Structure 1
Amino acid sequence: MRNQRKIKILVILPFLSGEGGTETVVNEWISHFENSSNLEVKYLLPQGSMRDHWYPDSRSIKVFRFAQVFKNVRPVRNALGAIWLMFGILFTSADEVVCLSTKLIYEVAFLRKTFRKKFKIVSWIHFSLLHGQDINLNDLKKADYHLAISSGIQRQMHDIGINDSNIGVVWNPIAPSLNVIPEATNSPFKFIYIGRIFIDGQKNLRELVAGLSSLNKSTTRWTLDVFGDGPDMAEFKKLIAKKGIARQVIFHGWVKHPFDRIESADCLLLTSRYEGFVLVLGEAIARGVPVISSDCPTGPDDIVNDSNGYLYPPGDVQTLTAKMKSVIDNEKAFNHQKLPNTIVDFYPKSYFKRLEKYLFDFS
């Protein structure tokens, strides 16, 4: 990186649950930039957060806790947050303001014009532009530059007329693991699923159940460990029972660090209709676990390759079943010890080198 003045970055966060992948990545930023000599990064939470345990106690983070008191009253929370954000922008000396929602981009662009500020606005959207909630593509275009967390999101930006030279594909950081999860031996083949429980929504678990039910026609020598919870859990269990695979599925509920609970695993499954980056795929591969994932818009095709897993067309249950049978039959031998090296470009050292280059170029 070339030597130049210290760049000041202000990151503005929307109202977050406190338990998602976005929070994980923001924490990586906080930790990395805490003592940076090149970038000064501060964070604003104008509406607070549903849970406030996820971020560290740091002088770089400012939270409007009064708005957080009204976390369950969205109109009040929005209004209070907008007022607080106004003062945050008025008094900022940032060179770049990074926004994690299109609503924030709209508000910051208005405030920049009102207060005649000179900073650049950078979008950092963590969802597919065509599937994420509350994404306004016209507001997205009000940003000067864009950090794309997947090449799929870059393609979506290109398709709506955003210049490729204003987009930086940074992906998301995946923490390397010191431990490789061994394959299950002397036992049924062990599939795992980690994520929210949505049958027909984003996670598309009806397709997962259909694939496993079809797999039973060829072999019953498998189990599925489910780590997660969600609004469709009761219906999910009923569907599993209806398809006759209940004895092969083990539910663990929501677990804060699920990979720490897994003593052995053979393959992680993902059947999503859409994603942003899909951190769980990288987390599994970093621990030596191969994956089978839908080739859904944005995310999986950046991470999954012939050396660490399989992709299948979304909605194609027959191919999903065939891929599951392939890993059970060991048609392609995945070396658990070597899998972590297939995603080195996503590890923090490479990620932050790439990110810092773009942040300097944007300024």
Structure 2
Amino acid sequence: MTYPYFTGKGGMETVTARVLNYASRNMEIEFLLSGGSDDTNWIKNVNNESGKVVLHNHRSYPGVFLDTFNYIRKTKPDIVITLNNLQIMPIMAAKKLYVPNMKVYAWHHFALRFLKGNNLLKYCDSFLAIASGMKRDLINMGIDEEKIHLIYDPVDRVKVPTPQSKDGEPKHFVYIGRLEAEGQKNVSEIYRILGALKNKNWVFDVYGAGADEQKLRDLSKELGIEDKVNYFGWQKDVWSAIKVADLVFLSSKYEGFPMSVVESVAHGIPCIVTNCPVGPDDIIKEGVNGHLYEIGDIQDAAKTVDGFLDGSVKFGTQKEIQASDDDFYTDAYMKRLFNILREKQ
């Protein structure tokens, strides 16, 4: 597998670690990060016997190109799975010159419509799509549907659901992720939804960090909800830090496959999520594990949350919510993934 570099604190790191750990039962696997990883703590979750993480220090495109090309030339793998368009050219060059029988997969974790270099995807042999929306985008780009495999992203099963608040206690609303007010994460929208319900009995627990934290703090003051918002910073193991949760929010303008949502569902917590490209419409089962609302439709989201607070809007039991994640649990996911890879060898 290849990718230019990781920050070390995202959902891709979580998914990659799970795949590397499962690989020991199936095949030898290495993961090349040509530009390394800013934070390497996630690698501690990788069993060295199952998957090797190779960290280099090339951050420029020429450096990534040459590093990727040389690594493929030296290792001569049977299969390369690239998570990034930038590395398709050096991979295909190495294939043509040194490993003609090598199969190349594209496995992207961001909505394709926002990426550069999609014209290079046509050179790949197969595609691992993490969401139905991504599969549709690939087909619209002219990719043969038979080459596209819808696999989603994996999440581990959780035996004991996260506790919910007791009757009479404030409902705990949660956000997990980067604190970006108006960009991709669009977190200010959650604040405005909750600002419309400022007189209700709730608290908002924010788990994450980012450059816009002060801007969001100022917004909470402007909306009159400053005393209801708690900031816990970025957490290495966020679900150990979360003691109580009733709803998890995601307000993104686009995603790949939002791990904060699928993990929340695995913990038995319903979610209020924007119907953004791509992924949420695969995860959310309306009325069971949450509600999808259109980006910017604060009124619809606030109406649903208000109904949840007064009991007129109900979701499934925690067991029913967890069961709605069945397609995404790691055991089923890994069987799908490695069956696909074996077929192509």
TM-score by length of 2: 0.93
Whether contact under 8 Å (1:182, 1:336) holds in the other structure is no
CA 1:317 to 1:79, structure 2 compared with 1: closer, same or farther past 3 Å? same
1:41 aligns with 2:29: yes
Secondary structure of the corresponding residue to residue 181 of structure 2: coil
Q: 2:226 aligns with which of 241, 246, 268?
A: 246
Q: Percent identity, aligned pairs only?
A: 31
1:46-73: CA deviation from partner (whole Å, max 9, x where unpaired): 22222223223626425244x26xxxxx
Where does 1:41-190 land on structure 2 (aligned, <5 Å)?
Answer: 41-55=29-43, 56=46, 58=48, 60-65=51-56, 67=57, 74-75=59-60, 78-115=61-98, 117-132=100-115, 135-185=116-166, 186-190=168-172
Q: 1:315 aligns with which of 296, 316, 338?
A: 296
1:149-208: CA deviation from partner (whole Å, max 9, x where unpaired): 111111111111111111001000011112211220131121111110011111111211
Q: For residue 16 of structure 2, what is the aligned residue in structure 1?
A: 26
Q: For residue 291 of structure 1, what is the aligned residue in structure 2?
A: 271
- C-alpha distance in 1 between matches for 2:63 and 2:187: 38
Aligned residues: 339
- C-alpha distance in 1 between matches for 2:55 and 2:257: 29
Q: Which amino acid letter does the alignment assign opposite residue 160 of structure 2?
A: N
1:50-102: CA deviation from partner (whole Å, max 9, x where unpaired): 2223223626425244x26xxxxx33xx4444333222211333222110100
Structure 1: stretches of 5+ with no match in the other structure? 1-10, 69-73
More moved, 89-98 vs 199-208: 89-98
Deviation at 1:42, TM superposition (A): 2.4
Secondary structure of the corresponding residue to residue 141 of structure 1: helix
Q: For residue 360 of structure 1, what is the aligned residue in structure 2?
A: 342
Q: 1:262 aligns with which of 242, 260, 265?
A: 242
CA 1:362 to 1:221, structure 2 compared with 1: closer, same or farther past 3 Å? same
- C-alpha distance in 1 between matches for 2:55 and 2:261: 34
Q: Which amino acid letter does the alignment assign opposite residue 40 of structure 2?
A: D
1:256-304: CA deviation from partner (whole Å, max 9, x where unpaired): 1121122221111111111000011111111111111011111111111
Q: 2:317 aligns with which of 319, 327, 335?
A: 335
Secondary structure of the corresponding residue to residue 296 of structure 1: coil
Whether contact under 8 Å (1:207, 1:271) holds in the other structure is yes
Whether contact under 8 Å (1:64, 1:81) holds in the other structure is no
CA RMSD of aligned residues (A): 1.7
Q: Which amino acid letter does the alignment assign opposite residue 155 of structure 1?
A: R
- C-alpha distance in 2 between matches for 1:178 and 1:240: 35
Whether contact under 8 Å (1:18, 1:53) holds in the other structure is yes
Q: For residue 193 of structure 2, what is the aligned residue in structure 1?
A: 211
Structure 2: stretches of 5+ with no match in the other structure? none
- C-alpha distance in 1 between matches for 2:53 and 2:22: 18
More moved, 170-179 vs 337-346: 337-346
Q: For residue 257 of structure 2, what is the aligned residue in structure 1?
A: 277
- C-alpha distance in 2 between matches for 1:80 and 1:131: 24
CA 1:169 to 1:237, structure 2 compared with 1: closer, same or farther past 3 Å? same
Whether contact under 8 Å (2:7, 2:37) holds in the other structure is yes
1:232 aligns with 2:212: yes
- C-alpha distance in 2 between matches for 1:62 and 1:196: 25
- C-alpha distance in 2 between matches for 1:293 and 1:48: 32
Secondary structure of the corresponding residue to residue 196 of structure 2: helix
TM-score by length of 1: 0.89
Deviation at 1:125, TM superposition (A): 0.5
